[in-house]
């Protein structure tokens, strides 16, 4: 499959410091995509380390650099708290686990 990179993505890569010219950005993005893994993230569909790529077929339509290592720029993190109804003794509300999963604002992003 031949990967194509939009001009906007090449310029965004230059802005993030990935490369110094659009041609070099294209080469670097293709290299990273070859080593990337599939991803389920609201920003894209492929990931290589801190880089997330959004592809539409064989065209890279967006690029993001993840800056928060705690939440991966999702802005919220899961926490597990003792179930209020059973006090951790396990009940139907907590699905017999004794704890409830909640999402809180990322402490790293809010500081």
* Residue 104 belongs to a domain: yes
Tell me how many domains the chain contains: 2
Span between the terminal Cα atoms of the chain, in Å: 43
This prediction's pTM: 0.65
56 and 89 share one domain: no
Residue 87 in domain? yes
Cα 107–Cα 17–Cα 50 angle in degrees, nearest 5: 40
Q: Is 80 found in the same domain as 35?
A: no
* Local structure of residue 33 (DSSP, 8 states): H
Evaluate whether residue 46 is within a structural domain. Answer: yes
Is 60 in the same domain as 87? no
Query: What residue numbers bound the domain in which 47 lies?
Result: 4-65
Residues 61 and 89 in one domain: no
Beta carbons within 10 angstroms of residue 38's beta carbon: 7
Query: What is the tens place of the pLDDT at every residue in 53-64?
Result: 999 999 999 998
Judge if 42 and 95 occupy the same domain.
no
Q: Is 17 helix (H, G, I), strand (E, B) or coil?
A: coil
For 17-76, the pLDDT digits (tens) are 888 999 999 999 999 999 999 988 888 999 998 899 999 999 999 998 888 878 877 888
Other CB atoms within 10 Å distance of the CB of residue 9: 21
Q: Which helix (H) or strand (E) holds 12?
A: helix 7-15
């Amino acid at each position: 499959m031949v990967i194509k990179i939009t001009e906007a993505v090449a310029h965004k890569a230059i802005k993030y410091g990935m490369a110094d010219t659009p041609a070099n950005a294209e080469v670097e993005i293709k290299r990273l995509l070859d080593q990337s893994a599939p991803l389920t993230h609201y920003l894209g569909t492929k990931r290589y380390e801190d880089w997330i790529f959004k592809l539409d077929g064989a065209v890279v339509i967006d690029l993001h650099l993840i800056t928060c290592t705690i939440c991966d720029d999702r802005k919220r993190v899961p926490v597990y708290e003792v179930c209020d109804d059973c006090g951790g003794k396990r009940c139907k509300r907590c699905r017999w686990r004794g704890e409830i999963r909640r999402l809180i604002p990322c402490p790293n992003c809010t500081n």
